[in-house]
A and B are shown apart, each in its own frame.
Chain A
Amino acid sequence: MKTKKAVALLCILCMVVQLISCVKDVDFDQASDIVLTPVYEVDFIYSRFDTSQFIDPDEDPSVVIPEIVVNDTLNYDLLGTDFVVDNLEQVALTFEFSNTIERDFEFSFGFLDDANQRIGPSFTITANAGLGAGTDPVVTTEEIILDNATINILGAATKLISSIRIQNVNSSLQGILELKSKGTYFINYEL
């Protein structure tokens, strides 16, 4: 008798727990809609170009060098992982030149792959001439947007090549050109 009663009670308890325990008002299919859209600000390239570093001040000012070009290649593989390439929607590169040198500068950059072949587009920005040493620098800003298609091409990039070009240089030219830049990386990662 006791046994029956206890078993019956247990059954009732189990049934009650079964009946009252449930998961209501939730939709787990929403998980497929989860999108991570973080935005990262990362420094890109920088440069500081002082005339005294590449023009001998003792040189006769009447000697005019028609053009100076400084080329550089550096290791750059921040786009180099599949995850970044697959989920990077857009990159906005912001460049800020501060110039006190009384000449325009032409700054260009592009990318190389492992075999040192150019890939993707190359970009050229002109930094406006400054007003001379000791004056407030003339600021030139420019934004370059790399869209998803470009990013896919640049996924194979391992090096960045840059060049700075300045024309009609003589020893009376003084001042500093500063370049600061950043990349704003817009990720769109669907879980």
Chain B
Amino acid sequence: MRALVFLCIGVWGCSLYSQNKETLYDFTDLPQSLMLNPGAEVNFEYHAGVPFLSQIHVNAGLRGASLYDVFADDGRNINDKIEITLNELTSNDYLTFTQQLELFNFGWESKKNKSIYFSGGIYQELDVIGYFPKDFAVLAYQGNQDFLNQPFRFSNINGSGELLTVYHFGYNKKVNKKLTFGARAKLYSSMFHIRSAKNKGTFTTIETSQGSNIYQHVVSNADVTLRTSGYASLRDIEGETSSAEVKEVVNKLIGRALLGGNLGVGVDIGFTYKIEDQLAVTGSINDLGAVLYAKDVETYSARGNYVFEGFETPIQFSGQNPQNFLDELEEAIPLDTLSTAYVTMRPLKVNGSVKYSFNRYDDGTCNCYLEGEQPPYMDAVGVQLFTQFRPKRPQYAASLFYYKRLFSFLRTKVTYTIDDYSYYNIGFLLSTHIDKINFYISANNLLEYTNLAKARGVSLQLGFNLIM
């Protein structure tokens, strides 16, 4: 039951920063920090993630509402609650779901030059965002009777979903004592992609005293496009649910995951700059790249104008040809199915932070000085910013954080994040380092775990690494 509820929250949950990993960012005790900033200042000799277990990441959320708003057990009629929620939501509210699974992750210090650290791996990512199609939800839930003369806007239809694998290789170099720079090349293999954005036009029921009839139903300047890739061939298999068909779908998807899908390239770039010993700024750009969708593409597009005033009868009076509503509509707003290739940018993410470290570990037992290294700081505080570019508008988040190295084997980070809707998002990361074995777990929106139904967003990451 709990798993089901988690899944529900996953699909209908909430959170703004769909891929914001505020606790992991610049947490340089973990190799996963290199995935968020290839220029993070890490000090590993090598690392290897436990295959399939080095990072499990789930993030889900709904901006604008929670499960509790609709399903609260408070004696009120659910239809009233839906109507209230519907009226509160806007077309800028959305639901997101992101899931990542690292298949492999490894890295090593260059033997020739100890200031260089290489890392690479493969991960799979599912990323879905759907904006709330307010106008059409209203049209479906309440009809047009109360909304005469008001346009229903096709621009409300906005969303995208993608399943892909990413092959990456990164380079991290300590340029000097102050600056660490890094870059990561990425090769995307998209298994499935669907996107509808930048739609235009309106549907309006106009009360008219001048027209032929009581109303005019007007579709004006409609321009609606839905792009898909990887869908057409799966649809052909769909319908049958025998094990052979399921196997065929799975085989197709695996083939696409192994570079058989639509391919794209991108880079991550990042740096760490120490203004002074205890004060550092970092910045990174992730997924600056694009995927070319050329295989198995189907784009559906409808454009045109149409006015419906009812049926004229008897038609003899006007001498016009008899109408056929559906034929006329199809002629005025033809639905085209195209298979032309298209390019879509990956959702670009930008991170930045300022960190002040203090409380140097110095009880005289450290061998650091002998090894030519500085002993670590036990505490750090700072500020982080995050932006992700989305079909409609960027999402933002700002965090305060406190890093604490409780023991050598136990390191933690607490974050406090604000964004468009939540002012009390607390995140926590706990990382254990026992010999070479590392385990970490992190979650945000901790205050909302007391009642997940009221939560608008939940994010969870955990994984195992071998770090030296």
Bound form: Cα–Cα A76–B450 in Å: 56
A164 interface contact, C-beta 8 A: yes
A72 interface contact, C-beta 8 A: yes
Question: Contact mask B282-325 → A, CB, 8 Å, 1/0?
Answer: 00000000000000000000000000111111111110001111
- Given that A6-B409, A6-B410, A25-B68 are known contacts, is A46 also in contact with B453, CB under 8 Å in the complex? no
Bound form: Cα–Cα A187–B142 in Å: 10
Bound form: Cα–Cα A160–B148 in Å: 27
Q: Is the CB of A26 within 8 A of B71?
A: yes
B164 interface contact, C-beta 8 A: no
Bound form: Cα–Cα A28–B9 in Å: 12
Residues of chain A having any CB pair with chain B under 8 Å:
2-3, 5-6, 9-10, 13, 17, 20-28, 30-31, 33-50, 53-54, 70-72, 74-78, 94, 96, 109, 160, 162-164, 180-182, 184-185, 187
Select one of B68, B313, B434 contacting A162, CB under 8 A: B313
Q: Which residue of A lies closest to B318 (CB)?
A: A48
Per DSSP, are chain B's interface residues mostly helix, strand or loop, or mixed? mixed
- Given that A34-B82, A47-B314 are known contacts, is A39 also in contact with B143, CB under 8 Å in the complex? yes
Q: From B154-162, B213-221, B363-371, B392-400, give the one contacting chain A.
A: B213-221
Q: Is the CB of A74 within 8 A of B315?
A: yes
Which residues of B in the span 75-97 have a Cβ within 8 Å of any Cβ on A?
77-79, 82
B34 interface contact, C-beta 8 A: no
Q: Which residue of B lies closest to A34 (CB)?
A: B78
A167: shortest Cβ distance to chain B, in Å? 17
Bound form: Cα–Cα A182–B310 in Å: 8
B412: shortest Cβ distance to chain A, in Å? 10
Question: Other CB < 8 Å A-B pairs besides A39-B142, A94-B214, 10 of them?
Answer: A6-B409, A13-B430, A26-B72, A30-B73, A39-B143, A39-B144, A39-B145, A44-B310, A182-B215, A182-B310
CB-based closest 6 A-B pairs: A43-B310, A38-B143, A72-B314, A27-B73, A21-B449, A39-B143
Select one of A22, A33, A42 contacting B451, CB under 8 A: A22
What are the residues of chain B within 8 A of A22 when measuring CB–CB?
Answer: 450-452
A175: shortest Cβ distance to chain B, in Å? 14
Q: Is the CB of A45 within 8 A of B452?
A: no
A131: shortest Cβ distance to chain B, in Å? 21
- Given that A23-B5, A43-B213, A47-B313 are known contacts, is A36 also in contact with B449, CB under 8 Å in the complex? no
B74 interface contact, C-beta 8 A: yes
Q: Is the CB of A17 within 8 A of B449?
A: yes
Q: Is the CB of B324 within 8 A of A17?
A: no
B219: shortest Cβ distance to chain A, in Å? 14
A44: shortest Cβ distance to chain B, in Å? 5
Q: Is the CB of A41 within 8 A of B205?
A: yes
Question: Contact mask B385-422 → A, CB, 8 Å, 1/0?
Answer: 00000000000000000000001011000000000000
B154: shortest Cβ distance to chain A, in Å? 18
- Given that A20-B449, A21-B450, A43-B214 are known contacts, is A75 also in contact with B322, CB under 8 Å in the complex? yes
Bound form: Cα–Cα A2–B143 in Å: 65
B232 interface contact, C-beta 8 A: no
Q: Which residue of A lies closest to B409 (CB)?
A: A2
Q: Which residue of B lies closest to A163 (CB)?
A: B314
Q: Is the CB of B434 within 8 A of A26?
A: no
B234 interface contact, C-beta 8 A: no
Q: Is the CB of B143 within 8 A of A75?
A: no
- Given that A10-B439, A13-B430, A25-B451 are known contacts, is A46 also in contact with B311, CB under 8 Å in the complex? yes
Question: Contact mask B239-273 → A, CB, 8 Å, 1/0?
Answer: 00000000000000000000000000000000000
Select one of B2, B215, B312, B409 contacting A41, CB under 8 A: B215
B43 interface contact, C-beta 8 A: no
Select one of A2, A50, A70, A182 contacting B214, CB under 8 A: A182
Bound form: Cα–Cα A118–B311 in Å: 19
Q: Is the CB of B311 within 8 A of A20?
A: no
B432 interface contact, C-beta 8 A: yes
Bound form: Cα–Cα A94–B449 in Å: 54
- Given that A33-B79, A47-B313, A160-B313 are known contacts, is A21 also in contact with B452, CB under 8 Å in the complex? yes
What are the residues of chain A within 8 A of B212 when measuring CB–CB?
Answer: 46, 48, 180
Q: Is the CB of B72 within 8 A of A76?
A: no
B441 interface contact, C-beta 8 A: yes
Q: Is the CB of B311 within 8 A of A74?
A: yes
Q: Which residue of A lies closest to B315 (CB)?
A: A72
Q: Is the CB of B449 within 8 A of A75?
A: no
Q: Is the CB of A75 within 8 A of B324?
A: yes
Bound form: Cα–Cα A17–B441 in Å: 11
Select one of A30, A71, A109 contacting B71, CB under 8 A: A30
A1: shortest Cβ distance to chain B, in Å? 10
Select one of A38, A46, A54, A75 contacting B139, CB under 8 A: A38
Q: Is the CB of A3 within 8 A of B434?
A: yes
B443 interface contact, C-beta 8 A: yes
Bound form: Cα–Cα A36–B136 in Å: 13
Q: Is the CB of A72 within 8 A of B316?
A: yes
A157: shortest Cβ distance to chain B, in Å? 13
